[in-house]
Amino acid sequence: MKLGYYIAKRLSLSKQHSFTKTITTLAIAAISLSVCVVILAFGILLGFKKEIREKVQGYAGDINITRYQLAKGSETNNFNIDTSFLKQLNTEPYLISAYPFINKAGIIKSDSTLEGIVLKGFPGDYDFSFYQKHLKRGKLPVYTDSIDSYDILLSEYTATIMGVDTGARLNLYFIDNSDVRQRRPKVVGIFNTGLQEFDKQFGVAHLRMLQRVIGQDYTIAGGYEIKVKNFGKVDEAIASITPFLDYNYAVQSIKELYPTIFQWLDLVDTNVIVIIALMLIVAIINIITVLLILIIERIPMIGLLKSMGSPTRQVMSIFNWQGMFILLGGLLLGNGIALGAAFLQNTYKLISLPADTYYMDAVPFYLPIQYLLLINIGALAACYLCTYIPVRMISKITPAQSIRFR
């Protein structure tokens, strides 16, 4: 066993109460706090971005294909569905699905209230897992591609404004110039995604119902909603899709459709990076300060070892090992506290948030294992390299100086 490791182990892990033991414990606590804050800050950032992005994706997919129009609005220019193009998209390896949809603005009326709404029509094979996750009451509608359905989903916000619940029937009016078309849909489910700006505006209906409102057949769509397997490669997916379409069509990612939301998330990135940098600096200062204190306290021991012929490098290794023990202890404790707190938060939602401001009702946490390893390896490497700063002063200590040091 190496002498430096053996002495460092005895000094750091000894059960006897001493100044060294006390200062080592304090250092471990300080470093664990820094690591804990870094893990929580990074995990909350990723969880926040993941939650918001998944909600926007649930409403609009990853990519929308629509016809160009002169004015922006909730409704899009309609066109005939190209079934061969949809089949081709659904066979592409980088895509999960592609569905036609229609956005149609209307007015819903209950016994005492009128409210504007945009109904988004989906086909029978649409994946409603997003709405299933956020369903508060009732059930999901069952749509087919052979029979018109008048079952709709309303947001909890709209249902509250209208004073209705599941099972209620509403008067629904679509106004097109001087033509007014009325329907009597049934509310089968009520959802709440937390994205108030979307919940206030949208509801879900059957594509066939909206197609019959617009025209006389079932070949009309307002756009295609596409979901990709890897959101990080959405721009490459757009580049692959665009050549199959003519100049009349716009292919846009949700980043382009809702730039304000994603710019806001980018600002959050900056704040968390500053926090992580500050906590790393605190951890480095802690380890340097502690090693300086330990070296000053052990100057007589350093002089004795040198007088007995121990080379400077061997003496330095004692404090390098002590620094490593402190760092590993801090990392283990910090990881344990952070991951334990994250588990409790994700399970019991101990810290809540105002949903109308943050688009979610509780603080989220999401940290893939690769990011957790990167944080720990990065913190360990940065702090360990900085241990050489105080340890270098050992080379300047001579046995004669150590004898006079009391």
- Please check whether residues 88 and 232 belong to one and the same domain: yes
Q: Is residue 61 part of a domain?
A: no
8 A C-beta contact, residue 220 and residue 79: yes
* Shared domain check, 231 and 346: no
* Structural domain includes residue 266: yes
Residues 117 and 224 in one domain: yes
Q: Would you write out the chain's pLDDT as a tens digit for each of its 406 residues?
A: 477 788 887 777 666 556 767 888 888 898 899 899 999 999 999 999 999 999 999 999 999 999 987 655 667 789 999 999 999 998 899 999 999 999 999 999 988 789 999 999 999 999 999 999 999 999 999 999 999 999 999 999 999 999 999 999 999 999 887 789 999 999 999 999 989 889 999 999 999 999 999 988 899 999 999 999 999 999 999 999 999 998 899 999 999 999 999 998 888 888 778 888 888 888 888 888 888 888 888 888 888 888 888 888 888 888 888 888 889 999 999 999 999 999 999 999 999 998 878 888 899 999 999 999 999 998 899 888 888 888 888 877 777 666 665 5
Whether residues 166 and 294 share a domain: the answer is no
Report which DSSP code applies to 194: S
Residue that terminates a domain, selected from 247, 276, 295: 247
Residue appearing with tokens 């050992």: 394
Q: Residue 367 is encoded by which pair of tokens?
A: 């940290």
Residue 237 structure tokens: 């997916």
Which token pair is 244? Answer: 């199959």
115 with 230, same domain: the answer is yes
Q: Is residue 64 part of a domain?
A: no
Q: Which domain holds residue 26?
A: 3-55+262-404
- In-domain check, residue 356: yes
Angle between helices 312-348 and 19-60 (to 10 degrees): 40
The verdict on 312 and 397 lying in the same domain is yes
The answer on 80 and 45 residing in a single domain is no
DSSP string, 261-284: HHHHHHHHHHHHHHHHHHHHHHHH
Instruction: Tell me how far CA of residue 217 lies from CA of 34, 172, 221, in angstroms.
Output: 63, 20, 11
88 and 43 within one domain: no
For the chain, how many structural domains are there in total? 2
237 and 113 share one domain: yes
**Total-model pTM:** 0.85
The verdict on residue 370 lying in a domain is yes
**DSSP H/E element including 291:** helix 259-297
